[in-house]
Amino acid sequence: MEFRYPNGKIYKPQEVIKTPYLKKKTYSNRGMTLEEDLNETNVYYLEQKIAVIHKKPTPVQIVSVDYPKRSAAVIKEAYFKQASTTDYNGIYRGRYIDFEAKETRNKTSFPLQNFHQHQINHMNAILQQDGICFVILRFTTLDEIYFLDAKHLLTFWNRQFADGRKSITKLEIETYGHQLAIGYHPRIDYIKVIDQVYF
Amino acid sequence: MEFRYPNGKIYKPQEVIKTPYLKKKTYSNRGMTLEEDLNETNVYYLEQKIAVIHKKPTPVQIVSVDYPKRSAAVIKEAYFKQASTTDYNGIYRGRYIDFEAKETRNKTSFPLQNFHQHQINHMNAILQQDGICFVILRFTTLDEIYFLDAKHLLTFWNRQFADGRKSITKLEIETYGHQLAIGYHPRIDYIKVIDQVYF
């Protein structure tokens, strides 16, 4: 069963993946969402002591909770809240890492409506604090994934208010970003790009 | 109305504090929880462009969601999950910051049961990545707040398996930690200690 946010986006529950190795043997990458691939990548980084990066929980406003006797509290009414930050953050070799991951079914451009002003402001604040901040963009139908530094995203974001263009062309992403290979273990080795670009 | 976690801890909803200055004029510090004080402190740091530090959302496992026509999705059944990390993280002057905040009504020691093994493992991983990791401990009845580096917490945590002592004495916290003054603006200026100790 699918749950949807007020904006129509599908809600993906976060799961603690305890047996990524066993699980990996039983399926191919087909059908995996970007979030699932990144969660597995982050589990790999954590287990290999490469980096400590987590997805933040989905923000929820809780309105009503029941306390049945002898069992866990049940949230009976709650609402999804818009996140004020990006979804992923953590640490790699002492540096602060912060990113957002988004998918599109488009083939030639990435719509900026995948981001909202709060997130853009957050990324800007992170860059000002000298953090490593970026987005991971997946073209689902092409099965291509790109790493784009937030400073470039900010440029394209601001451009829309100048010339009205509400997307980043794929050529721009290829030019300013870095394509990420889709692997097996880890699935999306974005730390490799961080090593090349920031260290 | 108070909500409680399965372990009996009171649930504090996260609120986006949009008018901290207005709000501050209308109440004193009495009755504010440590979390509220830290949220206001973090808003101050963010607005002053000093640091970008956020509390993570409360992790919730969503089981059932309703989609009433023409209104927001309503979560009808969900459960609190145990956090696998600490509650607060972010960036200050390029460095990764990570901490947990806890209160006790005890006067002479801080019970280790305020932490759980997942969080201890997380703190250890952060220290290994050269992050700035600590706990903020408040003695509620004394209204004293301390900053204690996670490396000391780990020592006391491990001691309990050696000699069985399930708390940190207040004297130990005074010796290895740093008392945080309770101020007005920001309320708990923990960045001052970070400046002294880590830069």
- Tens of pLDDT, residue by residue over A125-171, are 999 999 999 999 999 999 999 999 999 999 999 999 999 899 999 99
| Contact list, A57 vs chain B (CB under 8 Å) | 56-60, 81, 83
Give the count of beta carbons closer than 10 Å to the beta carbon of residue A141: 11
Q: What is the pLDDT of residue A83?
A: 86
- Looking at per-residue pLDDT, the higher value among B15 and B97 belongs to B97
Asked whether the beta carbons of residue A52 and residue B11 sit closer than 8 angstroms, the reply is: no
Given B56, B78, B84, which is nearest A75 (Cβ)? B78
* Residue ranges making up the domain that contains A177: 3-198
With tokens 């000093």, the residue in question is: B50
Find the farthest-apart pair of alpha carbons in chain A and give their distance in angstroms, rounded: 61
Give the residue with greater pLDDT, B64 vs A83.
B64
Nearest CA in chain B to A54: B85
The pLDDT score that the predictor gives to residue B199 is 93
pLDDT digits (tens, 9 = 90+) for B126-143: 999 999 999 999 999 999
* Residue carrying structure tokens 């997805």: A55
DSSP secondary structure string for all residues of B105-137: S-SSEEEGGGS-HHHHHHHHHHHHTT-EEEEEE
Task: Report the run of H or E that residue A148 belongs to, with start and end.
Answer: strand A144-149
B100-118 mean pLDDT: 96
Q: Which residues of B touch A62 (CB under 8 A)?
A: 3, 11, 13, 58, 60
What residue has token string 């790009």? A193
Rounded CA-CA distance A89/A100 in Å is 9
DSSP run (H or E) holding B197: helix B190-198
Q: How many CB atoms lie within 10 A of CB A191?
A: 19
List the CATH number of the domain containing A24: 3.40.1350.10
- Are B131 and B97 spatial neighbours (Cβ–Cβ below 8 Å)? yes
Nearest CA distance, B145 vs chain A (angstrom): 26
Instruction: Evaluate if residue B39 carries a pLDDT over 80.
Output: yes
Contact criterion met (CB < 8 Å) for B95 and A93: no
**How far is residue A98's CA from residue A151's CA, in Å, rounded to a whole number?**
13
Tally of domains in chain B: 1
Higher pLDDT, A77 or B20: A77
Residue A196 to residues A190, A191, B35, B37, Cα–Cα distance (Å): 10, 9, 39, 40
Report whether A148 contacts A137 (CB < 8 A).
yes
